Amino acid sequence: MITKKCLGCGIELQCEDKNKEGFVPEEKLWTQENLLCQRCYKIKNYGQNLTNNFSSEDYRKEVLQSVKKSDIILPIFDIIDFEGSFTDEVLDYLRDYNSIVLINKIDLLPDFIHPTEISNWVKARLAEEGIVPDDIAFVSAKNKYGVNGIIRKINNIFKNKKVRATILGVSNVGKSSIINLLLKDDRITTSKYSGTTLKSINNKVPDTQITIVDTPGLIPVGRVSDLISVESGLKLVPAGEISRKTFKLEENQVFMFDVFCRFKILEANSGYKTIFSAYSSKNVKFHVTHQERVSDLLKGDFFQILSKNEKERYFENKFVTKVIEVKENEELVIAGLGWINVKRGTLKVEIVYPEAVKVVVREAIFKSKKN
């Protein structure tokens, strides 16, 4: 029997079960080509969030199968949620295959930052993991920036010969959006919700010898957004340029990253106060207070991303308290939420956050220019 696949998500089409992935009405299945499954149709036309029955293990297997057949892989990271997308699973692939690393969503960076500034930072982060990619490309699917450069870089390596390149990464980093730009056709379904692409999708890039393969997103762990509802999680994804606010705090003041995490300043530097900037989606409220006020603020309606019920559920997570020191030109990152960039002095804090969330100190993506 010939199997047809959905153009938008790669799933095998079927006409037996309306409630299963890949459904199309029988008359369409046999008479039409280039079909979209019912799920893709609803996502594309009505922006619906439709769940599916695939597990992270299913996605993992599917990605592995495609990677095995490829000549080069294109792992993709989200510059705004770098730690959330820089997972061990993706790094393992990078160690084993030729690669061009794609850094997407650079449109969300503040205006004053140029991609060349962050290029060395990305190289250093990869080098820390023992990874040296063949090349790195900074792109924005939203602004259509840097996409042709991907083709150029592949052709440089393979001298315009036939090549199969597989894009991979965690869900929602923009894999399908980038491929649509390469194909100059919005054929693959994209959406703001995770888990849009279900199976690998092969397409030939027009006027080249390149077959580009889209894969389903790997499911990351350790992001604040994974602990809350999908709709609230979307509010943590910046819709435009990331918001930045600068602070100079006293010892014992508490900085609240909305209700999601908070830290108390333990030691102010003698002589001058530490200066830091907080980066996050514009919906996230930064607030400075004192310890006595924290509990009321968490319970009340000052912070509004989470509803009262959702706040209660969020606080059922196990929280940890840790002392962390962040030096000048380093950043304290809370995966899936944002980061704190220390511009002057050392920030010694006692931070409270859900144990399941990845919190790391890293070298700053962009350094202060005072030196």
Ligand X SMILES: Nc1nc2c(ncn2[C@@H]2O[C@H](COP(=O)(O)OP(=O)(O)OP(=O)(O)O)[C@@H](O)[C@H]2O)c(=O)[nH]1
> Which residues in this chain contact ligand X in the complex, by CB under 6 A?
104-105, 107-108, 140-142, 171-177, 190-192, 194-197, 216-217
Q: Minimum Å distance from CB 270 to ligand X? A: 42
Verify binding: residue 180, Mg ion, rule CB under 5 A: no
Amino acid at 69: K
Binding mask 191-230 for Mg ion (x = CB under 5 A): -----xx---------------------------------
Q: Output the CA angle 233-303-237, nearest 5 degrees.
A: 25
Closer residue to ligand X in complex, CB, 100/265? 100
Q: What, of ligand X, Mg ion, none, does residue 22 touch, CB below 5 to 8 Å by kind?
A: none
Measured distance CA(13)–CA(38) in Å, rounded:
10
Give bridge partners of residue 262 from the DSSP assignment. 256, 352
Closer residue to ligand X in complex, CB, 8/354? 8
Closer residue to ligand X in complex, CB, 105/223? 105
Q: What, of Mg ion, ligand X, none, does residue 362 touch, CB below 5 to 8 Å by kind?
A: none
Q: Minimum Å distance from CB 282 to ligand X? A: 13
Q: Minimum Å distance from CB 142 to ligand X? A: 3
Closer residue to ligand X in complex, CB, 49/368? 49
Q: Minimum Å distance from CB 20 to Mg ion? A: 20
Closer residue to ligand X in complex, CB, 170/261? 170
- Count of helix runs (H) and strand runs (E) in the chain: 11, 16
The label of the residue with tokens 């393992």 reads 92
Q: Minimum Å distance from CB 197 to ligand X? A: 3
Q: Minimum Å distance from CB 68 to Mg ion? A: 20
Rounded to the nearest angstrom, the gap between the alpha carbon of residue 50 and the centroid of all alpha carbons in its chain is 20
Q: What, of Mg ion, ligand X, none, does residue 310 touch, CB below 5 to 8 Å by kind?
A: none
Closer residue to Mg ion in complex, CB, 196/200? 196
Measured distance CA(236)–CA(218) in Å, rounded:
19
Q: What is the DSSP letter of 131?
A: -
Count of CB atoms situated within 10 Å of the CB of 189: 24
Measured distance CA(338)–CA(278) in Å, rounded:
7
- The β-bridge relationship of strands 330-334 and 275-280 is unpaired
Strand order in the sheet with 100-104: 135-138, 100-104, 72-78, 163-168, 210-214, 201-204
Strand boundaries in 40-169, DSSP class E:
72-78, 100-104, 135-138, 163-168
Indicate the residue whose CB is closest to ligand X.
Answer: 217
Measured distance CA(36)–CA(13) in Å, rounded:
9
Q: Minimum Å distance from CB 289 to ligand X? A: 31
Tokens at 266, concatenated = 């333990």
Give bridge partners of residue 288 from the DSSP assignment. 255
Report how far apart the first and last C-alpha atoms of the chain are (Å, whole number): 68
Measured distance CA(106)–CA(78) in Å, rounded:
8
Closer residue to Mg ion in complex, CB, 188/335? 188
What is the size of the binding site for Mg ion (CB under 5 A)? 4
Residues 148-177 that bind Mg ion (CB under 5 A): 175-176
Q: Minimum Å distance from CB 197 to Mg ion? A: 3
Closer residue to Mg ion in complex, CB, 203/280? 203
Q: What, of Mg ion, ligand X, none, does residue 173 touch, CB below 5 to 8 Å by kind?
A: ligand X
Tokens at 355, concatenated = 């144990």
Q: What is the SS3 assignment for 165?
A: strand
Q: What is the DSSP letter of 288?
A: E
Q: What, of ligand X, Mg ion, none, does residue 364 touch, CB below 5 to 8 Å by kind?
A: none
Q: Minimum Å distance from CB 269 to Mg ion? A: 46
Closer residue to Mg ion in complex, CB, 87/196? 196
Residues of this chain that interact with Mg ion (CB under 5 A) are 175-176, 196-197
